[in-house]
Amino acid sequence: MAIIRPFKAIRPAQNVAHLVASVPYDVVNREESVILAAGNELNFLRITRSEIELPENVSPYDKSVYQKAKENFERLIKQAPLIQDEEENLYVYHLTMGEQKQAGIAATFSIDDYDNDIIKKHEKTRKVKEDDRTNHIITTEAQTGAVFLTYKGIDAVNQIVEKTMNEAEPIYNFTCSDGIIHKLWILPKEKVSTIVEEISKTKYLYIADGHHRAASAARARNVKKENNPNHSGIEEYNFFLAVLFPAEQLKILPYNRVIFDLKGMTENEFIEKIKINFSVESSDSASPKNVKNICMYMSNKWYLIKPNENVKKAENVGGNLDVSILENYLLKPVLGIEDIRTDTTIDFIGGIRGTAELEKLVDSGKAKVAFSMYPVSVEELINISDAGETMPPKSTWFEPKLRDGLVVHTI
């Protein structure tokens, strides 16, 4: 039984929501964050990436960064202002990116459900990133970014969400510089119990994006629990902030790869080694049209590579993903990349940037070769999660992205 719970959100006043809302902290680096927040004292990156207000030689993981986040959060509450709802609510969060439209429910979810695998994962986390967000949550005493959850949609829930959007004016309605439209409603009070009851019938929820946020919320809960001799299990720190979307509404973009070093091989030698496990042919397309097709870019030329008879069907579900086949039959044996999470000769480019970004990196000489992937499906994500498996890192890129700062959960 999955638990969904209303909460008293801290959120921006209506007239400044567009100024406060920021891209998620983990899709931009320090330099990009500086640019995005420039000239806007209310931008939420000043809380989620507070190192931008400290000298460049200060590590983003230094204690002073988390203290600055706390100070900026307290400043923003007064200056923006940010207000806290007097009653516990569920919120409807709708995003539009071109033809892509999706509506989710912003709420808090049980960390016990996360620990007990009712909320399922498909990705491993890195300790350094967990440490970062755990320290951020504990210092600010707030979950400032929402986890992106999905589930197999329920008609009764979808109907309530649709009716809410059709019959009431949103409390927020703005378009960001990237063209994505963000709207937020407070769900009518009389519908909350129905939502809670219907979601409770769901066997599993799934993390689509935000594994580090969820893991960090669980770690922060453990710290708070240890320090609270009167711990009861109903404190706010026992729940984490997330937005829950029906799986049928979601769109996954590919997560592409670029390689910076051919390990001393010429391009011809590299291609000959690839041919052990793949067919290689010239291509007019920069994006694969089907699963088990990968497009490769080198020296101003696109190739289509397909697994040959040497690539065996894996016994595990995740081993048959294109990203797994590329890793196991090319990156490891040909390029010696054993751990794509830590090897500095590989980088990952979200599909929202398009294949032009891959061409730019290779043509500039920064990268030697790029791989354009066919996107993983939501069904594959759910199947892998149900099997208790994990995908290779950077397998999925969800768009549109939630904005940080529209609803905050204090613990």
Interacting residues of 243 by C-beta distance below 8 A, sequence separation 6+:
93, 104, 105, 106, 107, 146, 147, 148, 149, 402
Task: Decide if pLDDT at 330 tops 90.
Answer: yes
The count of residues in the chain is 411
What is the amino acid identity at position 174? F
Give pLDDT tens digits for 9-48.
Answer: 999 999 999 999 999 998 889 999 999 999 999 999 999 9
Arithmetic mean of pLDDT over the chain: 95
For 347-388, give the DSSP string: EEEEGGGHHHHHHHHHHTTS-SEEEE-PPPPHHHHHHHHHTT
pLDDT score of 341: 81
Which residues, other chains included, contact 111 with Cβ-Cβ below 8 Å and sequence gap of 6+?
217, 218, 221, 238, 239, 240
Tokens for 343, please give them: 């090897």
Q: Which long-range contacts (CB under 8 A, 24 or more apart) does 213-216 make?
A: 213/133, 213/143, 213/145, 213/146, 213/147, 213/240, 214/114, 214/119, 214/121, 214/147, 214/240, 214/242, 215/125, 215/130, 216/130, 216/132, 216/133, 216/134, 216/136, 216/137
Q: Give this prediction's pTM.
A: 0.90
Residue 347 has pLDDT above 90, yes or no: yes
219-235 pLDDT, tens digit each? 999 999 999 999 999 99
Q: What is the pLDDT of residues 131-186, one digit of tens each?
A: 999 999 999 999 999 999 999 989 999 999 999 999 999 999 999 999 999 999 99
Q: Which domains does the chain have, with CATH numbers?
A: 4-252+399-410 (no CATH), 255-374 (3.30.1760)
